Every structure is written in structure tokens, then in C-alpha cells.
Amino acid sequence: MNRVHRWLCRSGWWRRTVENSLLPWVLKDIELGQNVLEVGPGPGLTTDVLRNRVPRLTCVEIDERLADSLSQRMAGSNVTVQRGDATAMSFPDASFDGAVSFTMLHHVPSAELQDRLLAEVARVLRPNAVFAGSDSRYSRIFGALHLFDTMVLVDPESLPRRLEAAGFKDVRIDVAKSAFRFRARRA
């Protein structure tokens, strides 16, 4: 992420958005289970909320600085942070009861890698486990925020087919003005 994007993702404004709008919207009426995977937590504002909702949370973050910082901040809590690539996770098959991903899929540098990430999430989930998340829709401000940054938008209309191809069923997409949420179950 570029410097402005990093700053925004740590800001009080984004923290309030995560706590009061994003996570309540994405996780409404969803039971994640006891052992949950968070893919791409970044600086961990979503992790701060999630760790109070689930008994055990494992985060996979590819950025070394962000992973190290989050790991130090979460030391002694119910959160484990692993620095790693979510397109090739080291967890055994069917390791988790649920998985989440918030506003990070567009940071994966290609649709092919996004599809590998989706397949890996399916692989590490137990059968019938929930995968829920969100991502952003394009706007001029969103585009400007991603100057010199990775931005491979996910089309909410094609995402159901992509999730099904990755091993999910019961896919649901809800589109709002600036974002969309997705929910699916491991087949």
C-alpha cells in the first residue's frame, strides 16, 4: 500500500467505520465458529473487533511490517498472526470453522491470484464453514487512494461464479454504493 493508504487504514475514521458500519454489515446474522481465519488484516483494525467475537483467531498477512506489528500488538491474546501468502497457506485442510476477509481482495495483484486465494480459503475451511467478507467498488476517490498501489477490483457480479469454482456453495452477494459483501459456505 502507498503511504496515504497506510495512513488511512490506521486512522480513527477508518476504525470507527470498521466498528460501526463495516463489520456489523458484513457479519450480520453470521456464526463464524470457534476457530476463525482472517485473511489480510493489514494493521489489524478489523482484528481488534473480531478478537472479541470469536474464541480463537488466526490472521494471515503477507506484508512483513504489518504482520510483525500486529503480532506484537496481539501477543498474549486469542490472536495468532502468521506472516504468509494467503494464496499458498501452510495450514492443513479443514483447519478452520470460519474465515473472513475485509476490503483486501483488490490488493491481490491479479484475478488469477485472487482465485488461488479463494481456493486456499476453501481448502483450509471445514465443510459447510462460512467465508464472509467485503471489498470496495470503484470511485474516483478510491482510485486516487490507490495511485502507485495495487488495485485489481473484484466484480461483484462475477464473484459468485469465482467462489463456486473455488469450492464454495450458497453464495450471496449484497451490493451497496461503495462496497459489497459476500457470504458463502465451503462445499
**How confident is the model over 65-79, as pLDDT tens digits?**
999 999 999 999 999
- Region 152-175: mean pLDDT is 97
Q: How confident is the model at residue 46 (pLDDT cuts 50, 70, 90)?
A: very high
Prediction pTM value: 0.92
- Position 4 scores a pLDDT of 64
Q: Where are the beta strands (DSSP E) in 43-95?
A: 56-61, 79-83
Ramachandran region, residue 157 (left: φ > 0; alpha: ψ -120 to 50; beta: rest): alpha
Which residues does 88 contact at the CB level (< 8 Å), separation at least 6?
116, 120
The grid cell for 80 is 495468532
The CATH class of the 3-186 domain is alpha beta
Look-up: residue for cell 476457530? 35
Tens of pLDDT along 100-155?
999 999 999 999 999 999 999 999 999 999 999 999 987 777 666 666 778 789 99
Domain boundaries, the chain: 3-186
